[in-house]
Amino acid sequence: MSDTPAIPLEHQIGRHMMSLWVPQALHAAAELGVADALAEGPLAAAEVASRLGTHAGATARLLDALAVLGVLERGAGTFALSELGRYLRDDVEGSRRAWARLMGGEHVWRAWGRLTECVRTGEAAWTATGGDRTSETETFDALFADPEAAAVFHRAMADGTRGAAPAIVDAADLREARSVVDVGGGHGELLAAALTAHPQLRGQVFDLAHAEAGAKALFAARGVEARASFVAGDLFATDPPAADVLLLKSVIHDWDDARSVAILRRCAAAIGERGKLVVVEPTAPEPGGAVPASFAWIVAFSDLNMLVNTGGRERTAAEYTRLLEQAGLRVRAVREAGAFYSGFEATRA
């Protein structure tokens, strides 16, 4: 039996409330580059402040909080990166620095501040307070009006896709394909993984024009630029390029059912009679289904994030299947695509 006293329930609920401070501390660390400043070894708080050009006292207080979170480790008057804190560096495999900048940044933070109205109305933050929808992509229009915010968003999406990409590519079964389009693929991390795994493939990323420069840079960095290209377009106004296989990762959960079906119909037109569409999403558990607590947390809060930021939602496998059928597609297979994702392989019905 543990000798640690139980935390009173009123303190537990209070700690949940104060957890809003955590992403802001991580966001500040990521924005300022704390982890990169400590990459070469431990430093005193004043030395970190000197490198970052920040206020010495305030920097020390931030470092104290990061140490409590386990992001930093205290030494004899110094702070060092922990194994956890390494993932706030820019230059490590699996970096989540861009994700911390995105999640704690102004656009996401302001939207979450309107959660109450989103729940009252069922609308995303942009329209929950009575505003009119200005375009199908208004949430992203506002974010991408700021070039730096757009770059952070795409870097965060690429970083999040990189580790999952091999399993997704395997689940997509591209062995017989000769052409592939990564729809809404941003900087093309998934496409690059597909081209690397299958030398016979040529591919394109189809996304809004602001992602083009980042995609071309990534293609060059991955050594696939000779077989990869970028096509600019709005998925609500333009069909994606035709290909043997269309990949649609983490796109449908951004949108409500009507917009999701509209997207899927455009994809159905692009694959023709012989091609296939692979929709890749984390699937919510069926009601009453047993799932690990960590996965249940991710799905539940990601679902709220979709409500707040885009008006979308996380869905069960049955719900994704119904959306695909409404768009004139038939699900041929559902495959696991790593720890969190499922791949829904569909052809025209």
Determine the Cα–Cα distance for residues 14 and 193; give it in Å rounded to an integer: 44
**Tokens at 105, concatenated:** 């940044």
Catalytic residue of the set 107, 187, 198, 253: 253
**Tokens at 286, concatenated:** 């069926």
Helix (H, G, I), strand (E, B), or coil: what is residue 69?
Answer: coil
253 is a catalytic site residue: yes
How many Cα atoms within 13 Å fall on the side-chain side of residue 304? 14
Give the residue ranges of DSSP H helices in the chain: 9-18, 21-32, 34-37, 45-52, 56-68, 97-103, 106-112, 115-121, 125-128, 138-144, 147-162, 165-172, 189-197, 212-222, 257-271, 293-309, 317-326
Helix (H, G, I), strand (E, B), or coil: what is residue 200?
Answer: coil
Task: Determine contact, residues 143/149, Cβ cutoff 8 Å.
Answer: yes
Active site residues: 253
